[in-house]
């Protein structure tokens, strides 16, 4: 007889990717965030949806409690140049630099480039096919998980 296994039989297989989808500040445009949350869920991810009016502090607190692989912030209000850098700083302060920070909404190309240079991931604009952002998150999270394994 084989040695006793110390653990109860549980579903094997890869842990689903966990993503926090948040709306920051006073931006009330939640259609895109909901579309994205649903698409990620349909792609097999566990999506924690926080809803509207999140501060960077709330977003990072949630990311830490929920132990997510990625944070996706949807911003159509023009506040992206303050929100993304602040979230990035808080992630670093809280030992969460392995978490992918991505998002989308109405963000001009030059701002996207500046944010990327600061360490934010890809940001997706209006009209993006959800299959593109799904692929990006899957690929990026796989890399980061391999890195920290």
Partner 1 sequence: MSKTPRPPDASAILRGDRRALGRGLTCVEAMDDEALALLDALWGSTGRARRIGITGPPGVGKSTLASGVIRAYRAGGRGVGVLAVDPSSPVTGGALLGDRHRLGAEAHDPKVFFRSFGSRGSTGGLSRAAPFALDILDAAGFDVVLVETAGVGQTEIEVAATADSVAVVLSPESGDAVQAMKAGLIEIADVLCVNKADREGAEAMVEALDAMLDRAPPAPWRPPVVRTRGLEDASPLFEALETHGKWLLEGGRLEERRRRGLRGRLRSLVHALLAERLLAGQDALLDARAGEAASKRRSLLDAARSTVEEILR
In the complex, the residues that contact partner 1 under the rule CB under 8 A are: 1-2, 4-11, 15-16, 37-38, 40-51, 54-55, 57-58, 61-62, 64-67, 94-98, 144, 147-148
Q: Which of residues 89-118 bind ligand B12 (CB under 6 A)?
A: 102-106
Q: How far apart are CA 137 and CA 128, in angstroms?
A: 14
Give the DSSP per-residue string, 10-70: ---SPPPPEEEEEEETT----HHHHHHHHHHHHTT-EEEEEEEEE-HHHHHHHHHHHT-SE
Q: Which of 16, 44, 51, 126 binds ligand B12 (CB under 6 A)?
A: 126
Q: Which of residues 34-93 bind ligand B12 (CB under 6 A)?
A: 35-36, 72, 74, 76-78
Q: Could you say which of partner 1, ligand B12, none residue 72 binds, taking C-beta under 5 to 8 angstroms by partner kind?
A: ligand B12
């Amino acid at each position: 007889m084989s040695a006793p296994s110390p653990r109860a039989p549980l579903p094997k297989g890869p842990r689903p990717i966990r993503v926090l989808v948040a709306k920051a500040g006073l931006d009330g445009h939640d259609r895109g965030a909901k579309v994205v949350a649903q698409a990620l869920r349909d792609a097999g991810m566990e999506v924690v949806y926080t809803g509207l009016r999140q501060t960077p502090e709330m977003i990072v607190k949630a990311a830490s409690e929920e132990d997510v692989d990625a944070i996706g912030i949807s911003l159509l209000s023009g506040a992206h140049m303050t929100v993304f850098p602040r979230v990035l700083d808080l992630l670093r302060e809280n030992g969460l630099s392995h978490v992918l920070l991505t998002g989308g909404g109405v963000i001009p190309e030059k701002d996207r480039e500046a944010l990327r240079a600061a360490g934010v991931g890809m940001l997706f604009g209006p009209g993006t096919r959800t299959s593109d952002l799904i692929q990006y998150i899957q690929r990026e999270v796989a890399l980061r998980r391999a890195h920290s394994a």
